[in-house]
Every structure is written in structure tokens, then in C-alpha cells.
Amino acid sequence: MNREDKLNVIEDLTAQLSNASTIYLTDISGLNAVTTSDLRRACFKANIKLAVVKNTLLEKAMKASDKDFGELPGVLKGSTSLMFSETSNEPAKLIKAFRLKTKNKPLLKGAFVQESIYIGDEQLESLVNIKSKEEVIGDIIALLQSPAKNVISGLKSGGGKLAGILKTLSEK
């Protein structure tokens, strides 16, 4: 790869890093071709973009980006794959599910999720438990509907009790 190609790759990576709110750095080395193909298919179905990049080019793109990646450039050793997603916990769920098929691969090197930085594979469970925007909105709607449902059910049950009392009194 000549210097001009490297500069183009760095520019493309910088643009992708600037536009993404969720970035996962993983290690998929050691996976055979069939398993890697399965991982790519699973990423495509989950609307996750998977790309294998050179560490030096990614580090330069991180420095050129307007975001603060903190300690993430420090994990760029060995084979590195990038996962871009719109949903913050989707790549973590995919990694966790994919590990059931393979033996502890892919490994999580680090993640940049909504301006927060996660370093190391032990952070995977924390990332899985992050709620997506849609899940948080669903929880808020359920909480807002809860008092109204209680009032309505109270009125329905109270109306039934009142009708029963009136019926009993009228029979006497």
C-alpha cells in the first residue's frame, strides 16, 4: 500500500469514527474462514458493520478524529476488527452469542459507546446490559402508563363492587 492509499484509508476511517456513536474493537484472529464468514453474516443481519483494519492506520484516524478516544489507542495490538453500530448494546450481544459457537472468540479489546470508553474483555457483560434507546423509551412509557392502568382497574373493580352492593340492597 503506497502513501496515497494509506492517506485515503485514514480519511475514510476518520469519517467513519466521527459519524459513529458506537464503536467496538475486537480480536477475531484464530477464527477459520467458515467461522469468520458466519460472523460477518451475523453482523450483517444485526445491522453491524464489521471491518478489519491495520492498527497504525486506525490509531492515526483516532488522533485525527474530533472525538476523544482516551485509552483506546493503547489496545491496538495484534489483529483488530472494528464493529460499528447504531445500537449501543447490539455488538456486545452478538459477541456474547457468537462465543457460544466458538471458544471465547471474538475477544473484546475495547469499546466507545456514547462518549464512554470500555477497555478489556471483562467489560462485555456491562456492555450487554446497556439499554438501547428503544428499550429506555419502552420502559418510560410503561412507567407512565402504570398509574393510569391502576386508576382504571380500580374504577372497574370499584364499579363492580358498587353494582353488587346495590343489587344486594335492592333484593332486600
For the entire predicted model, the pTM comes to 0.76
pLDDT digits (tens, 9 = 90+) for 61-89: 988 888 888 888 888 888 889 999 988 88
Does the pLDDT value for residue 94 go beyond 80? yes
The contacts of residue 54 (CB under 8 Å, 6+ apart) are 9
User: Rounded to whole angstroms, how far apart are CA atoms 96 and 128?
Assistant: 8
Count CA atoms closer than 13 A to 123's CA, side-chain side. 18
pLDDT, tens digit, 9 for 90 and up, residues 102-124: 777 888 999 998 888 899 888 88
Give the cell for residue 11: 480519511
Q: Enter the C-alpha cell of residue 129.
A: 446490559
- Could you give the CA distance from residue 80 to residue 28 in angstroms, rounded to a whole number? 7
- Angstrom distances, CA of residue 90 to CA of 64, 110, 133, 152: 27, 15, 12, 37
Question: Residue 44: pLDDT above 90?
Answer: yes
Confidence of residue 24 (pLDDT cuts 50, 70, 90): very high
pLDDT exceeds 80 at position 162: no
What is the grid cell recorded at 95? 459477541
Kindly report the three-state secondary structure assignment for every residue of the chain. CCHHHHHHHHHHHHHHHHHCCEEEEEECCCCCHHHHHHHHHHHHHCCCEEEEECHHHHHHHHHHCCCCCCCHHHHCCCCEEEEEECCCCHHHHHHHHHHCCCCCCCEEEEEEECCEEEECHHHHHHHHCCCCHHHHHHHHHHHHHHHHHHHHHHHHHHHHHHHHHHHHHHHC
